[in-house]
Structure 1
Amino acid sequence: MRIAIIPARGGSKRIPRKNIKDFCGKPIIAYPIEAALNSGVVDKVIVSTDDEEIASIARQYGAETPFVRSSRLADDYTGTVAVIRDAILQLQQIGWTLTECACIYATTPLLNSERIAEAYQLLFDSHADFIFTCARFSFPIQRALLKTDQGGVIPFDPPSVPKRSQDLPPTFHDAGQLYWAAVETWMDPAKHIYSADSRMLLLPERLVQDIDTQEDWEHAELLYKVMQSLGQ
């Protein structure tokens, strides 16, 4: 069975109740649930949460909540991999036979079904440990600047400053949306998402938006509306 697990704890602080806040007419968690269910490569969507309101809303949109996440895994310091491993164990203990698992974040309204299916196909074709969505930095990070304690400015990588942009290697960042792997890979502590055995699914910048502040939220809604108007 191929599953998608959406981590969605109730204790969001920067945007209160972020995981179920209204986004263009629906709770934001509804978007990844529906995208996964419509992808054709996910059999069930599981929401791992410690919050009954989140669980109830998730079920309304087709997800399942067969367990309650432990409070020890719902603080500000628990990593995503630990949450995914706990969810897999919980499901295996109730008799589910699992093959591949996608982790999809709750606040990913710009992620569509096609990208989920494309990432799964890349996992299948490449035999990589992990497939995850990423985006290219629009400006060469080798030319980043650092501010000194005295308020001055120094280059992050001095040897790169005189080089032409086209002579600097492209750099990428995790888009914070989607991660596919076999279940045994998720459960293996020796396997890591960022490794030479993983592969990136490159997304256009217009489909990547962290949502950590109210300004981020408003920008994401604008991007979503533009995509809808273009039929994307």
Structure 2
Amino acid sequence: MNIAIIPARGGSKRIPGKNIKSFCGKPMLAYSIESALASGVIDEVVVSTDDEAIARVAREYGAQVPFMRPVELADDHTGTSPVVRHAIATLIERGWELDHCACIYATAPLLSASLIAEAYGLLEAASMQAPKRDYVFTAARYSFPIQRAILQTASGGVEPFDSVGITKRSQDLPPAYHDAGQLYWGHHTTWLDSRRHIFGAHSKMLVLPDHLVQDIDTPQDWVRAELLYKLLQQEAAG
């Protein structure tokens, strides 16, 4: 079966209780769960958490919480991949028969069910082609060429990030992209192999428009995300 794993630990500092804080009337986590279940390509949603309050909300909205995340995987320094590997390994030990796995972040209210299905379709298609792709993830294009970025020096002055690129016209520079921080699809065996990195040559991007991408790390980010979500809902309603 295909599953979605949603990492959702407690203890957010910049936005306390971020994963279950009310976002446009529902707990933030609910949006990722509901989109995954509505996608048509995910059989079960599993939330990996160390927090009982998050676990209760997850179950309320249709996800499973078959285990609690170990303390050593719930600190500020543990990355996403070890958490997903732990979840997959634990589920296999408990007899789950897994196929593909989507890692979906708990703070992805702009990620729709159709995008989850589209990314899965890209991964399936890529598995039939050469070179085979390990992962498909959502990404967005930088609006300004990163080669023309400027750094501030320790003395308060400035220096170019790229001394060659900053001298070129924008149209002469290749576009650059960034991880959208929403969705990552891969086969469960790919996730379990720590040598196969998401941001490597054998991955593929599903590039999204800017209005579907918003980091939610600060209170200001939260306000922008709510505004974007409301606009998308109004647009969908006609």
TM range (shorter): over 0.9
**1:162: how far off?**
2.3
Report if aligned partners of 2:149, 2:166 keep a CA contact under 8 Å in 1.
no
TM-score between both structures, scaled by the size of structure 2: 0.96
Any residues of structure 2 matched to 1:122-201 within 5 Å, and which?
A: 122-127=122-127, 128-201=133-206
Q: Report what 1:219 is aligned to.
A: 224
Gaps of 5+ in 1: none
SS at match of 2:182: strand
Q: Report what 1:27 is aligned to.
A: 27
Q: Output the amino acid matched with 2:170.
A: S
**1:153: how far off?**
1.1
Structure 1 consecutive aligned stretches of length 4 or more whose deviation exceeds 4 Å? none
**1:149: how far off?**
1.2
Whether 1:4 aligns to 2:4 is yes
SS at match of 1:42: coil
**CA separation in 2, counterparts of 1:189 and 1:54?**
28
The percentage of aligned residue pairs carrying the same residue is: 63
Gaps of 5+ in 2: 128-132
SS at match of 2:236: coil
C-alpha offsets along residues 4-57 of structure 1, whole Å, 9 cap, x if unaligned?
000000111111110000000000000000000000000000000011110011
**CA separation in 2, counterparts of 1:41 and 1:113?**
9
Any residues of structure 2 matched to 1:26-45 within 5 Å, and which?
A: 26-45=26-45
C-alpha offsets along residues 108-164 of structure 1, whole Å, 9 cap, x if unaligned?
000000000000000000121000000000000000001111111111111112211
**CA separation in 1, counterparts of 2:170 and 2:162?**
13
**CA separation in 2, counterparts of 1:46 and 1:162?**
49
Q: Calculate the aligned-residue CA RMSD, in Å.
A: 0.8
**CA separation in 2, counterparts of 1:200 and 1:149?**
36
- How many residue pairs are counted as aligned between the two chains? 232
